Amino acid sequence: MSDRSKLVPFASAMRRPDPARIAEFAETARRLQRERAVSAEVVTSALREKPREMWRQLATRPELQTSGVLEWLGRAVEQRRSTDPLEALALAELGTSIADAIPADSYPPIITAQLRAHAWKDRGQALSYLGRYDEALLALDQAEVEFEPFGSLGHDRAIVHFCRATLLQHLRRFDEARALLHECRQVFREHGDMSTYVKCTLAMGNLLVRTGDYRNAQEMLVPLLNEDSLIAAQARMALGWCAVHLGAANEAIEHFHESARDCRRRGRELEAVRATYGAGAAMLRLHRFRDAIATLLSTRETFLACGLVEEGGLSGLAIVEAQLVLGDAQAARRLAASLVREFTAAKLNRRAVAALAYLNDAIAASSATPEIARDVHAYIVALQIDPTRDFARAN
């Protein structure tokens, strides 16, 4: 069951409502079901009429201003995040435009708040998938604004907090993420939502990996291998990074390959590519440079096709490192020059562009080493935490 289908708030101790409220609630439930039944046809027909960049203009159509349409869009965003993240964002932007356009008297206020909050939550997740973290945080802030008047929506609020915790991990704000995850796990367990509780446990395991606590991460993640195949695949990817950092690169490659296979079985192509990237990184650790280059070239191509320029660049930098080890300075220089152009065209952090240009110049001057490529890689990752950090150039 998707988050968006839970439009009736959980409540364990409510006073008995009067008959009029029961009748209103029942009619609202019937209306939501009717809207769900026709939503797919209504939305897909409308989307076919306009190119993707104009989808937001559809928000003014009354037939699209329904809960059923928003639920359909929410599911579509979730499905497309890992296959076509740019389309996922376009759908999420349409969703927030529709949610904000819904007349205030269309539904009971609590339902309207849920619809709008989940639409903004979806938009935040889509932005996060594309690495647009500041915009994603603002979208999640708006989701929480919608919840403010309704204290009974604790479960919905926990879903948004869960998304925020995942995003904060990317920003290396680990203490904040840990506190939110602890809170969310309690809420999900209290409401009997064990599916999301397990996802929260996976997120906590990922946090331990990112903070370098690989042994405790393994302890938390290994039991998840018995869960739903997608959860198991994601846990296996995290276990792959544990193995990389614990010096077990062969074990890591096995984890990454199994994770990629299972992600593809579930239609999560982008997550499969991220697992494949992990395998390429492990191959570098094993000095399997040619295998690493072949693997990372495929991940780079997919990342770029999905508009993920930074991830494509990180794959490229790992390739440059391997090419320099093998003495192929000409190929390394061509790729480094491409990275400068891609980051510049995407208007990414100018400090990242400058670091890439430094690497490119060093290769041209025959002074580049694999360590410089590795340092530039680490620096670009560090910019996600501190966008104003300076690059320490080698003497």
- pLDDT tens profile 176-210: 999 999 999 999 999 999 999 999 999 999 999 98
Asked whether residue 20 carries a pLDDT value surpassing 70, the answer given is no
C-beta separation of 202 from 220 below 8 A: no
CA distance 43 to 123: 18
CA distance 103 to 13: 31
Of 41, 32, 135, nearest in space to 92 by CA: 135
Average pLDDT over residues 274-287: 96
Query: What is the predicted pLDDT for the residue at 22?
Result: 65
Confidence of residue 39 (pLDDT cuts 50, 70, 90): confident
Query: What is the predicted pLDDT for the residue at 325?
Result: 97
C-beta separation of 167 from 130 below 8 A: no
Confidence of residue 149 (pLDDT cuts 50, 70, 90): confident
Asked whether residue 380 carries a pLDDT value surpassing 80, the answer given is yes
Confidence of residue 267 (pLDDT cuts 50, 70, 90): confident
Asked whether residue 340 carries a pLDDT value surpassing 50, the answer given is yes
**What's the Cα-to-Cα distance from 104 to each of 74, 270, 347, rounded to whole Å?**
20, 38, 39
Residue 233: other Cβ atoms inside 10 A: 26
Average pLDDT over residues 284-303: 96
Average pLDDT over residues 29-48: 83
- Comparing 12 with 369, the larger pLDDT belongs to 369
Average pLDDT over residues 250-265: 96
Asked whether residue 14 carries a pLDDT value surpassing 70, the answer given is no
User: Measured in Å, how far apart are the chain's first and last C-alpha atoms?
Assistant: 57
Of 310, 275, 311, nearest in space to 295 by CA: 275
What DSSP string runs through 324-340? HHTT-HHHHHHHHHHHH
CA distance 119 to 125: 10
Asked whether residue 32 carries a pLDDT value surpassing 90, the answer given is no
**Range in 147-151, 198-202, 263-267 with the lowest mean pLDDT:** 147-151
Question: For the chain, what percent of residues have pLDDT higher than 90?
Answer: 74
Confidence of residue 38 (pLDDT cuts 50, 70, 90): confident
**Residue 371: in which H helix or E strand, if any?**
helix 370-383
Query: What is the predicted pLDDT for the residue at 12?
Result: 45
- CA quadruple 289, 290, 293, 296: dihedral sign: negative
Question: For the chain, what percent of residues have pLDDT higher than 70?
Answer: 92
What DSSP string runs through 60-90? G-GGG-SHHHHHHHHHHHHHHTTT-HHHHHH
Tell me the pLDDT tens digit for each residue of 94-148: 999 999 999 988 888 998 999 999 999 999 999 998 889 999 999 999 999 998 8
CA distance 59 to 233: 37
Query: What is the predicted pLDDT for the residue at 175?
Result: 94
Query: What is the predicted pLDDT for the residue at 8?
Result: 46
Average pLDDT over residues 236-255: 96
Confidence of residue 3 (pLDDT cuts 50, 70, 90): low
Query: What is the predicted pLDDT for the residue at 131?
Result: 84
Query: What is the predicted pLDDT for the residue at 17?
Result: 58
Asked whether residue 239 carries a pLDDT value surpassing 90, the answer given is yes
Query: What is the predicted pLDDT for the residue at 213?
Result: 94
Average pLDDT, the chain: 90
C-beta separation of 354 from 320 below 8 A: no
CA distance 310 to 85: 14
Asked whether residue 392 carries a pLDDT value surpassing 90, the answer given is no
- Comparing 254 with 150, the larger pLDDT belongs to 254
- CA quadruple 233, 238, 244, 248: dihedral sign: negative
What DSSP string runs through 265-303? HTT-HHHHHHHHHHHHHHHHHTT-HHHHHHHHHHHHHHH
Average pLDDT over residues 49-74: 92
Asked whether residue 11 carries a pLDDT value surpassing 80, the answer given is no
CA distance 235 to 299: 20
C-beta separation of 55 from 93 below 8 A: yes
Average pLDDT over residues 28-52: 84
Asked whether residue 10 carries a pLDDT value surpassing 50, the answer given is no
CA distance 210 to 262: 23
- Backbone phi and psi for residue 130, each to the nearest 5 degrees, phi listed first: -90, 5
